Amino acid sequence: MRLISILICIILPLLAAAPASAQEEKSPDVKKIVMEHLSDSYWWHIGTFGEKNVTVYLPVILHSGNSGWHCFSSRHLAGGASFEGFSIAAEGKYEGKIVETLPDGSQSRPLDISVTKTTTGLLMNSAITVIVILCAAGWYRKRKATDAAPKGFTGMIEAVVGYLVDDIIRPCVGPGWRKFAPFLLTVFFFILVNNLMGLIPFFPGGINVTGNIAVTFVLAFAALLVINISGSREYWKDIFWPDVPVWLKVPVPIIPLIEFVGIFTRPFALMIRLFANMMAGHAVILCLVCVIFVTAGMGAVVNSSMTAVSVLFNIFMNCLELLVAFLQAYVFTMLTAVFIGMSQEGKEVAKTYERQ
């Protein structure tokens, strides 16, 4: 994150340094380009080939209190058009969202369960994750335990799973690790596939799914449920009646209140860490690409030198983001395993697993 912050501090002044004459020559709107990539939308723009824009228009599903259910293609709303009384707000608190124009001229937000670009990417990446795991699992169904170890793709998946179980899940969770291994492995591969697909600059990749805070919120909320629902008696005792001086618990429950807030701050930290790292990486890469076009009006020498710098930094950032994709999946899984292990502390829990 410190390196990304330094790069942002270097890039933004360069983008703002373009003279007025250069900006008048249809200089790209860097902010708009970055925000369009990071934000969600009702269609998926694949690319522009010559003068033709290739876009996948996704289904819009709405429920209005006045006119009931509506289902149509987002093509009808492209270019600021209105369809069946619905349009995409260009400004205000509903900017970028579908709103309904009422007879009195006011606008309201209908129930919106449309399939957006992020939703499409999420479904595709989830399918890829399932296919990857099932393909590896299919090898074991056709083999015996005495057969030679798998090679190639299946061998790679086995190595990753073995590493996660031996170095993260088992030591962090403790005696009852088998119960939580499926959840933790699913979290790791789900985040990893979404991170890697977001780095692919062409269809069907390029959607920054894990850079959407709604996605990381659901992951963190799932971790919150698993951690606390499976918590032992000792875990809850340490929260509401910790082993501290009584005056810190009654009459004002200072420590219990702090421990209770900690139940939510841990998953919150997981959510923000994953979201911020993936969003920042994509923003920096896009800003570096825009440097080439922003400096186009500054002359051949400046533009060629800045193009070379942009390409080199882009190669570096993409390699760094490839590392971050693995690292963020690893960190999220490891911290979730640690928090689950903390909730399993207690002699009763240990004895229960020892009997099993």
Environment class of 207 (CB within 10 Å of its CB; exposed 0-12, middle 13-18, buried 19+): buried
Residue 87: φ, ψ to 5°: -155, 170
Beta bridge partners of 49: 52
Measured torsion, CA atoms of residues 205, 329, 123, 136, in degrees rounded to the nearest 10: 100
pLDDT at 171 over 90: yes
User: How big is the chain by its Cα radius of gyration, in Å?
Assistant: 25
Strands 86-88 vs 111-112: parallel, antiparallel or unpaired: unpaired
What number is the average pLDDT over the span 235-263?
88
pLDDT at 167 over 70: yes
Indicate the pTM of the whole model.
0.84
What number is the average pLDDT over the span 279-289?
86
What number is the average pLDDT over the span 300-315?
85
Query: Look-up: residue for tokens 């499976």?
Result: 230
Comparing C-alpha atoms, which of 32, 76, 329, 322 is closest to residue 205?
322
Q: What is the DSSP string of 257-306?
A: HHHHHHHHHHHHHHHHHHHHHHHHHHHHHHHHHHHHHHGGGG-HHHHHHH
Q: What pLDDT, on a 0 to 100 scale, did the predictor assign at position 6?
A: 52
Comparing C-alpha atoms, which of 140, 336, 73 is closest to residue 221?
336
The helix (H) or strand (E) run that includes residue 127 is helix 117-141
Q: How far apart are CA 88 and CA 94, in angstroms?
A: 8
What number is the average pLDDT over the span 170-192?
93
CA 225 to chain centre: 19
What number is the average pLDDT over the span 104-121?
89
Contact 38/283 with Cβ under 8 angstroms? yes
pLDDT at 354 over 50: no
What number is the average pLDDT over the span 13-18?
49
The helix (H) or strand (E) run that includes residue 69 is strand 68-73
**Mean pLDDT of the chain, nearest integer:** 84
The sign of the CA dihedral 42, 43, 44, 49 is: negative
